[in-house]
Amino acid sequence: MNPASSSSTPAPNSRPPSSHPSAANKTPSEWKQQLHAPPKDMRPQTEDVTATKGTEFEDMFLRRELLMGIYEAGFERPSPIQEEAIPVALTGRDVLARAKNGTGKTAAFVIPSLEKVDISKSKIQALLLVPTRELALQTSQVCKMLSKHMGINVMVTTGGTTLKDDIMRLSDAVHVLVGTPGRILDLASKGVADISQCPVFVMDEADKLLSPEFSPVIEQLLSFMPNNRQVMLFSATFPLIVKDFKDKHMKTPHEINLMDELTLRGVTQYYAYVEERQKVHCLNTLFSKLQINQSIIFCNSTNRVELLAKKITDLGYSCFYSHAKMLQSHRNRVFHDFRQGHCRNLVCSDLLTRGIDIQAVNVVINFDFPKNSETYLHRIGRSGRFGHLGIAINLVTYEDRFSLYRIEQELGTEIQPIPASIDRSLYVAPQGGDEQAQQPHQQQVANGTAVARR
């Protein structure tokens, strides 16, 4: 077990440089050399993530144990949003931060949240709220990875799991609680999760959490929190409804807006005009022509997700699928295995539209064109993660023409007709990755969520 730094609790900035036993008594270079960072990602990146002022993580007055976790996770220096948000968040001020999809928002709130935790107190000290279960899992994994050397207990809780396990888990110390609103409200109102002294409240994909379906839950949840909590909101989209929340619940928040435009520079967008009955044929051709490292294919309903997954396996390609009507354990397995690269293609509904970070995804296909620009923006943001390159291909029917027009107008972006051949340099990394388009293979359909696994 990790001993707490000291019996007193110094202010964050006056904390001694290190309190971790293994990190103590080492010069700065020594502790850093002993870390095991993953292999460096050599893919080119856009200025969406490279346009920084040159701050280093070591300039941020973070605990050495936290720095160790940061570097071991492969982070080299802060992305623009991290550079802006972390110092302000550490001061305890409310934050309203807007940055593009996949530019490092999660770490921008996880790092200050972890830094502020006092391990000697066995209370929930940071509540990180996200709109979907998969995103909760992903965010808690980031927390665990970054806090690896800190001895902080991170707990994730979402709907679709048994409440009993959560209650058991909360009888032990939990410092950081990550989850979806409904379950956390459930735990808080039962008195199982004590957030009455929780000083940090973060909403990731804040606009989604403040949409009509969630906002009553958020309001109730806030009533269980102390009045002097720090509130931080992060997203790539901030519709006006968020302003109401800001005026009501935030104290002169520091606004960070790193978005000159809405769409990612690294993602090139195309449309292919099709008739409804040609969609499967069109997709088949895309599969055979594109250099897909990993792809996410969006449909507009759960039924269509299943129907398409079946068609894709019939055509001899492998795919996973996920949607809201599946068992949570199956959703989790699909998410985990896809992230591990067990399968090249994932068919899903808008369940996985927001926040999901799978770096290997270089192609997003809207098999069904979305009806609104917010959904569109978040969907295509699943490729081009962290400034890398990717493409988004939209199958557009005659019915979709108005949506296409409106989305282009609202996002101030251009969706081009798909060319006969797509320049590989727009979405395929120069080295590494697969050089071949995927080949259909003998069909093998397994019962269960994972079909035709490769």
Partner 1 sequence: MAMSFIGKPISLISHSDVRYRGILAGIDPAASTIQLSRVYSMGTEGRRPAHEFIPPVAEPYEYIIFRAGEVKDLSVDDTQTPNPRSVHEDPAVVNAGRVVQQQSSNNPPQPRGQRTNSVLTANSSLQNVERAMGELRQPENGSGGGGGHNSNKNKITVPTTDFDFASSNAKFDKTSAAPDDVAPDAEKEASYNPTKSFFDTLTPGPANMRGRGRGRRQEERNRNVATFGEPGGVGLLGPGAYVGGWGGYSRRGGRGGRGRGQSAGNR
Q: Which residues inside 44-103 make contact with partner 1, applying CB under 8 A?
A: 96, 98
For the CA atoms of 335, 344, 415, 272, what is the dihedral angle to 10 degrees? -120
> Is 206 an interacting residue with respect to partner 1 (CB under 8 A)?
no
Q: Are 446 and 452 in contact (CB under 8 A)?
A: yes
User: Whole-number minimum distance, CB 307 to partner 1, in Å?
Assistant: 4
Q: Which is nearer to partner 1, 190 or 401 (CB)?
A: 401
Q: Which is nearer to partner 1, 77 or 406 (CB)?
A: 406
Angle at 219 between CA 215 and CA 222, to 5 degrees: 135
> Is 232 an interacting residue with respect to partner 1 (CB under 8 A)?
no
The stretch near partner 1 (CB under 8 A) out of 21-29, 170-178, 232-240, 384-392 is 232-240
Decide: helix, strand or coil at residue 235.
Answer: strand
The stretch near partner 1 (CB under 8 A) out of 21-29, 47-55, 267-275, 425-433 is 267-275
Of 288, 340, 425, 444, which one interacts with partner 1 (CB under 8 A)?
288
User: Whole-number minimum distance, CB 259 to partner 1, in Å?
Assistant: 6
> Is 330 an interacting residue with respect to partner 1 (CB under 8 A)?
yes
User: Whole-number minimum distance, CB 165 to partner 1, in Å?
Assistant: 20
Of 278, 359, 426, 433, which one interacts with partner 1 (CB under 8 A)?
278
> Is 289 an interacting residue with respect to partner 1 (CB under 8 A)?
yes
CA-nearest of 356, 310, 301 to 141 is 356
Give the C-alpha separation, 364 to 345, whole Å: 10
Cα-atom radius of gyration of the chain, to the nearest Å? 22
> What residues between 428 and 447 interact with partner 1 by CB under 8 A?
445-447
Angle at 72 between CA 69 and CA 74, to 5 degrees: 120
Half-sphere exposure (Cβ direction) of 378: Cα atoms closer than 13 Å:
20
> What residues between 364 and 423 interact with partner 1 by CB under 8 A?
371-375, 377, 396, 398-399, 401-402, 404-406, 409-412, 417-420
How far apart, in Å, are the Cα atoms of 350 and each of 198, 331, 378, 380, 415? Answer: 31, 13, 9, 12, 20
Q: Are 279 and 395 in contact (CB under 8 A)?
A: yes
Of 315, 342, 359, 424, which one interacts with partner 1 (CB under 8 A)?
315
User: Whole-number minimum distance, CB 383 to partner 1, in Å?
Assistant: 19
Q: Identify the residue whose tokens are 């997709």.
A: 283
